[in-house]
Structures are given as C-alpha cells and as structure tokens.
Structure 1
Amino acid sequence: MDTGQIGELVFKLYRIRFTEPGVGKYLKRWGLTFQRPDKRAVEQDVEAVRVWHEETWPAIRAKAKAENAEVLFGDRVGVRSDQVTGRTWGAKGATPVVRRTGNRFSVNAMSAISTRGRMHFMVFTETFDAKVMCRFLARIVGHFDRKVHLVVDRHSAHRSKTVRAWLDGHKDEIELHFLPSYSPGLNPDEVVNADLKRSLPHTHRARNQTELAAETRRFFHRCQRQPHIVRGYFAGPHVRYVLDENPLGF
C-alpha cells in the first residue's frame, strides 16, 4: 500500500484529507519505511514453522553435532533461456533491448550448501525426478568421509519410494530432513537460486542448451572457489536462525 492509498484510507475512516507527502512524513515519524513486502504462501502452516524453529532444527543440529556430521541445505532450480535477468541503464521512457535467441530451452541444477562455505552441485537437462535425486545424493555422499544431514523441501521426488529405498541403503552416510511446506524462506539455498538467476549474463545470452548449462556451471564453480560468498547466503534475516547458538558452524 503506497502513501496515496493510505491517505485515501485515512479519509475514508476519519474524513481527514492529507497530501501524499504529508502521509509520508507521518509514517516516517512513526518509524515506518516504504519496503518491498516478502511473499508468503497462504498455505504456509505457521505452527509448523514455529515447531521447525523451536524443535525440529535444534534437534537436527544437536544430532549432527553428536555424530560429528555435516549439515547441508539443498534445493533444485530451473533456468530458462527466455528468463529476463539483471538490469541496465537506459534513457527514460526507452526500455533497453537485449538481443538473445528466440529458441526456448532450459537446464536444471541441484545444489547444497553449508555454513562452512562448502557448495556441491549438479547441472542436468532432464526433468527432476527421484532418479535424479538419488544421483545427486550419491554425489554428495562421495564428497564426505563422515555422515551428512541434508535439509530439503517437500518436493514429491524427495519423498518418493525410490529415494526412501536409496536412503535405507545409506543410513550411515546420509539422512534427509524436510522443511515445513510452503516455506522456501527457511532454506538458505533458495538465496543461491536467486543469486544464480541474477548473475547469469544479461548482455550475452546462451544460444543453446549446452551454453546455458556451461554458464550455470560457471556460476557454481565461482561460488565453490569463494567460500565467503557461500557463507554469506546464511546472513539473510529469514535464514540467520541456522547460525544461532551454533559454535561448530552447522
């Protein structure tokens, strides 16, 4: 709601007319600022989010500490050739034009990050399903000599019979934990996805799926070489809970 709408509401309720600058001055005086609101699904279960913060996540963290295990947050992202990313300067009233291919293609990626600055990823062109998830889990396990606790959302592939069967055969190597439904804001890897889409070149576009996959891999490789960037993905207000009371960096 902007200052004009607030002014109309005040007039409707109290029959007092304010100019838009006047409304703005009062709002600032009361400690309010004009912000872009966060999106939150109406289906989100507030109680489930509370339980995650107060019970589930502390239990995962404690178990990982007891097992000397690694905790990772993972997520899938899709990147399309027709996706508009980035901004640039242009004359007022004249929208800048970026030349790109008219063909449509896409690639997918799975990634997982830890507060230690580690990042693991897999770029693929097929549809994300249980088999792809098992392949990613196998790659994760192959990078560690200790147990991994992987936190993901409730995508059907993550909870499939195929994945559960694979996990049953690797109980000592990896364990899966699920975030509350409709709660992407609790997952630091969602920040990685947003950064990927912002970072893809917007002055030179991939002309085919192979080039798009290569650009996506370059982004993840850059992050892997800069652990401080990966650690920074945990600094946002919605995901900072991961770091609370966490001396071992889980």
Structure 2
Amino acid sequence: MSGATTYSTYDIRVRAVRAVLDERLPVTVVAKAYGTDRSTVHRWISRYQDEGESGLVRRTVGGRPRKLAQVDQNALQKIVLAPASDYGFETDFWTTRRLIQVFQSEFGVVVSKQTVMRRLHEAGLTYQKPEREYFELSEEQREEWIRTELPKIRRAVRKHRAILYFQDEANVSLTALLGKTWAPRGQTPKQKVTGKRAGVAAMSAITKRGRLIFRLHEKRIASAEVIDFLGQMLKHHPRRHLVVVMDQAPPHTSKATLSFIESQRRLHVFYLPKYSPDWNPDEKVWNHLKHQELKGHQARTKEELKAITDEKLTRMARDPRLLRGIYFRCCISELFD
C-alpha cells in the first residue's frame, strides 16, 4: 500500500473486518480505504474470528513505567472529547501543544510531543479535520427520518426490485488542494498552481455495488440540470426502477423537478434530513475526488479542469472495488444492508 499508515479506532477496526467478511471486499481495497496495510487487516480478521469483537479492542503492552501513568485511556478521551475552551483556550480544538500545557497544569507532568501523540494513538484517537455540522441540524428530525423515511426506502427497493442510488452535487475548484510531502526542516516546499478563480459543477450518483454515474457542467446546477441527470440515470437503466436518495437542495425540490419525478413511473425519489451531508455516501465520492484524485492538479484553465475531472471520475467509475469502499465509509451505509 502506498502512503502512510494511520492509527485505527475500535470502530474502524470493526468496520474494516465487516467490510471483508460481510461485504466480501478484497483485503487490499479495505486496507487502502482505511489507511492501513494488508497484514494489519488480516491480523484484525484473525482476532475477530478467534475472540469476536472483543478481540478488536486495542491491547496494552508491557514496559517501563511511563509518564502520565495516572491518566488512563478513559481519562485522556474525556479531556480530548471536551471542548478545549473548557480548559481556558480560545477555540474548541485540541493540539498536542495544548495537551502538553494541560498535562503540566493539571497533573504536574512535563511530557514531549511524541509522548502525547503516542498516548493519543493508544487511546484510539487520531488527528482529524472535523466535518461540518450545521447549527440548524436537528437530531429529532434525523430520528424521525429513520423511523419513517428509511422503512419507505427499503419497501420501495423491495417492491420494485429497484437499484438504490445516492445522489449529490459538488463544485470542483480550479485552485487545487495541496497534499503534504517531505522537505528539509524550515524549508517549506513550493507547488505551482493557478491563481485564477473558476470551477466546474459536477453531479454524480453511487450505489452500494460500486456503480457511479456522473455529469459535468460549466454553470451552476439548477432544476434543469437535475432533471437532465435523473433522465440520464433512467436511460442508463432502461428496464429497471430506480430509488434515488438526495438532499433537500432547492433544485431537487423545485416544482419543475417534482413534476418530472411524478411523471416517471420508474423513478422513486426520497430526501435526506436537512443539513445532513454526512448521511450521503455520494458526498464521500467528492471528498475522494478532491483530496486524492485531484490533489495538486496542474489545470490552468476551466477547460483543462473539466477534462482532468472527467478523466478522474471515469477512472473511478471503472473501479467498483474502490467505489464500494468509499460507499461503505458513510455512517449510514449499514442501514441499507
């Protein structure tokens, strides 16, 4: 596997094992999706088969007495999962430097950055970029959706023997996202990118089996583009009913779009709760495209960006194993087994 290995949480280990044993995804694909190597996944599977899920709990190792012995994993998680502002910091996010200060002030222990990072990893914690969670999000609406809409989606799929798609849109920026690389300390490397502002609008839909349909546009997506894309999906499956789950963006719920949906006998559309992009597996497609496939791209014009985006999405569409791994990473994917 290329790239650095990341530390795993208990939840990640359980998901990875189930992806291999239940979803029958190849170990290589699962290892790549979860940022680890094949031997580690095989070890997790072996422990799971011998001990069940308890075998996936991180094991402690012996050795000399360590600093922060009075701070066990539960105590460390309690600190990190609380807002950093509770400890007098201006913002809620934690850094190793902030934790070093807390350990010194609360426990009178001076520790290194490496010690803090090692203890965080052992506690099943990783350094992550948070996903946006909107102030307007309603957990009550989400629970209501699971009680009412989820059963309707399942019934529609069974009744019509339909293909279930999750659909979403994104804007691909001409300004490339940059990845990390190695360089001499104090000498930040440079990456040439264009300073022009432009983007390509994109639509896609993904299934659990790793099918991907997409379309690119040079203008902002409105009702006409949504209707055109839904029509494209129906043409792609001329004899099948389609169940499409999407968010409640205005182009999805406009009168024109609703009228088109009602006119299509084989099309059954359902909507996710408001402000719930993390519940859409297709959102993971865009995350992978922007942060992996297009990372550091060298497009200088909108036309070049559209061409390279089309090339990358076409390559992804031809790799169902990759797409199944992307789909599986969504937190609600297991609800549709």
TM over 0.5: yes
Change (3 A) 1:77 1:20: same
Give the match for residue 147 of structure 1.
241
Structure 1 window deviating more from structure 2 (47-56 vs 229-238): it is: 47-56
Give the match for residue 74 of structure 1.
167
Question: How high is the TM-score relative to the length of structure 1?
Answer: 0.84
SS at match of 1:158: helix
Q: Which amino acid aligns with 1:51?
A: E
**2:223 pairs with 1:130:** yes
SS at match of 1:76: strand
Partner residue of 1:224 out of 284, 308, 317 = 317
Change (3 A) 1:75 1:26: closer
Structure 1 window deviating more from structure 2 (19-28 vs 68-77): it is: 19-28
Q: Which amino acid aligns with 2:109?
A: F
* CA–CA separation in structure 2 for the residues paired with 1:76 and 1:205: 23
Give the match for residue 16 of structure 2.
none
* CA–CA separation in structure 2 for the residues paired with 1:235 and 1:222: 19
Query: Percent identity at matched positions?
Result: 26
Question: What displacement does 1:164 show?
Answer: 0.8
SS at match of 1:104: coil
- Work out whether residues 199 and 219 of structure 1, in 8 Å CA contact, stay in contact via their aligned partners in 2: no
* CA–CA separation in structure 2 for the residues paired with 1:119 and 1:177: 19
SS at match of 2:192: coil
Partner residue of 1:59 out of 137, 142, 152 = 152
Give the match for residue 254 of structure 2.
160
Question: What displacement does 1:237 show?
Answer: 5.5
Question: What displacement does 1:186 show?
Answer: 0.7
Question: What displacement does 1:37 show?
Answer: 6.2
Change (3 A) 1:212 1:7: closer
Change (3 A) 1:97 1:118: same
**2:290 pairs with 1:197:** yes
The 5 Å alignment of 1:165-180 reads 165-170=259-264, 172-180=265-273
Question: What displacement does 1:231 show?
Answer: 0.9
* CA–CA separation in structure 2 for the residues paired with 1:5 and 1:31: 17
Partner residue of 1:17 out of 73, 93, 108 = 108
Q: Which amino acid aligns with 2:223?
A: A
* Residues 172-230 of structure 1: per-residue CA shift (max 9 Å, x gap): 12121111111111111111001110234455511211111111111111112111111
Give the match for residue 238 of structure 1.
331
Structure 2: tracts of 5 or more residues without a match: 1-93
Question: What displacement does 1:3 show?
Answer: 5.5
Question: What displacement does 1:101 show?
Answer: 2.7
Change (3 A) 1:60 1:6: same
After superposition, the CA RMSD in angstroms is 2.7
- Work out whether residues 148 and 173 of structure 1, in 8 Å CA contact, stay in contact via their aligned partners in 2: yes
* CA–CA separation in structure 2 for the residues paired with 1:168 and 1:69: 17
How many residues align? The count is 241
User: In proportion to residue count, which structure has more helix?
Assistant: 2
Question: How high is the TM-score relative to the length of structure 2?
Answer: 0.64
Q: Which amino acid aligns with 1:33?
A: L
**2:280 pairs with 1:187:** yes
SS at match of 2:253: coil
* CA–CA separation in structure 2 for the residues paired with 1:5 and 1:87: 23
* CA–CA separation in structure 2 for the residues paired with 1:98 and 1:11: 39
Structure 1 window deviating more from structure 2 (112-121 vs 82-91): it is: 82-91
Q: Which amino acid aligns with 1:45?
A: S
